[in-house]
Structure 1
């Protein structure tokens, strides 16, 4: 039985991912694994109903949708990688990751490292 039966909303990241059908679940699990591996000291939880990773502030968030997932950073992190993101659909701080394409693991790992440094060294909080 899903943990969301009583509220209609996921209670944790496992429940969030379980709310999607395969192969979207696998894609989101890989985003989770990437997030945990590259931000091992961050706390994992849900913010606005989506998986989020935070220290004293939100570092980044990902979310699943019907045709793609979004990975969201601060606009300043996204801007620092603007040239490398030119082939992606992006928003203010988001990158669309389509389920039928490879996850840009190295790029996202670099962006996570940048975001952590941006917070720890420069004190940049969430938007």
Structure 2
């Protein structure tokens, strides 16, 4: 569900289908507790988080939520998620409504991205250039 007229995460969740709200709130709590310095907002019509760069976002669909990361899932992440019944894309995890969040795996991935973002900021500060 992309809503370009919505400007806050609270409004996005309130406008989402009722069956999606518990999952969306759980994803929100997961991101904000894992990365408490992350800024929360709406980008590209969906809830999105930044911490020293792009971090993650999520969106509601008819029967599932899609959790999107700003980096590619590793083969190990993908294997662990798929073994637990989650769909995966290049940078996404598909979570059916009513399905328990893969909290431990998502936390690991968020921490990995937050560290990579922080490392880029440190490298840029040292060299005056953005690391590739």
- So what's the TM-score if we normalise by structure 2? 0.78
- Could you list the structure 1 runs, at least 4 aligned residues long, displaced by more than 3 angstroms after superposition: none
CA distance in 2, matches of 1:93, 1:36: 19
CA distance in 1, matches of 2:23, 2:78: 24
Q: Of 89, 98, 123, which aligns to 2:96?
A: 98
CA distance in 2, matches of 1:105, 1:82: 14
Q: Of 98, 118, 121, which aligns to 1:120?
A: 118
Of 18-27 and 62-71, more deviation after overlay is shown by: 18-27
Q: State the secondary structure of the residue aligned to 2:95.
A: strand
Which residue pairs with 1:63 in the alignment?
A: 59
CA displacement at 1:86 relative to structure 2: 2.9
The structure number with the bigger radius of gyration is 2
Which residue pairs with 2:9 in the alignment?
A: 13
Q: 1:25 to 1:56 in 2, by over 3 A?
A: same
Which residue pairs with 2:127 in the alignment?
A: none
| Superposition CA RMSD, Å | 2.1
CA displacement at 1:83 relative to structure 2: 2.8
Identify unmatched segments of 5+ residues in structure 1. 1-6
CA displacement at 1:100 relative to structure 2: 2.3
Name the count of aligned residue pairs: 117
